[in-house]
Structure 1
């Protein structure tokens, strides 16, 4: 019995063993997904309707070939794409590759391809079959989320630094430039981030109660900047 993703019984089309590839693609379940089949003897490529759409075509616009497919791969990824297809066709899989594709309208798509051999009833390889996942929207959504989180984190850091500067201005008599220079110098000498030093200033200021004399509060804050 063949062990590839597909077994081609007599007078039957290839059957997908979905459990074999589910783990690889479950995170892309909402992404457009096409399929391609290539049969060695006839050199015929069969694309699903969704794969035509991923390439920017409708069925009937073009005849699928290896050269057509590779022409849509971005130049820097073509060597990887060709090596993937060659290994898939000769040794089988499952194998996966991540590539950039430019569709017929010039749009860049990020695709994940995973495939394996098609076997006949005798267990002989007769072709290859692959899933092509257009992960573009998913990647861009993740990128936007990461960017938004970075902006939010940056805003929090700025707020902490500004609060620390305000404490130094109000309690140590420094101006804004001097306050930031003190914080920055402390960051460099201790090899810690500016926001960490700023938070230390805030924490120390909060620990100093109104019972402390002003001079004592100022001295306690400035002690942070003494060389250890």
Structure 2
């Protein structure tokens, strides 16, 4: 079974025509029964290989490329992915063939075959290039493309939406503000959707996000004890 035989859902598998992303990213497909990985050329290059044809990705190879401090945690995640086939996300560091440490965000969803059976997972690695941080942050609330002539109230409203979504991403993925913005800009460009439109759509679906009770308890403790730290 190859990825062209798979019907995928929720995450777009094809970049829109003409979309150009300043961020390094790559796609992967994982087939549980075969314990088999496929990488896009971009993901192979992110790991330091010439192309997808020049490497045979395996679960062991993936772990070899993880930073030693992240390897155990990612290894446990890979076991759950194979046994349960659930969607997942992860923020960790990889080490490419040159020994360069690269922080990445991995977002994955369930992979289905044409009969609707779960056969694995698929998704993206995203690594923002440091040289693009300033230019990305300076984009308007209407990236990509931008619109001129927005009145100040409209601009503030759109920017506020983006900031709220950034905050949610920072909490969920343990990102800083720049990384959260990078992730939004990347998805905006990948989906060819204006940034404020994408942020508005994400915010509208906040209630669809399942927040584990343990996470809420942790936030409760932070809220109830934050004043103590402010008095020190």
**Interval containing the TM-score (normalised by the shorter chain):** 0.3 to 0.5
Taking structure 1 as the reference length, the TM-score comes to: 0.48
Quick one: higher RCO (CA 8 Å, sep 6+), 1 or 2?
A: 2
More helix by share: 1
Taking structure 2 as the reference length, the TM-score comes to: 0.47
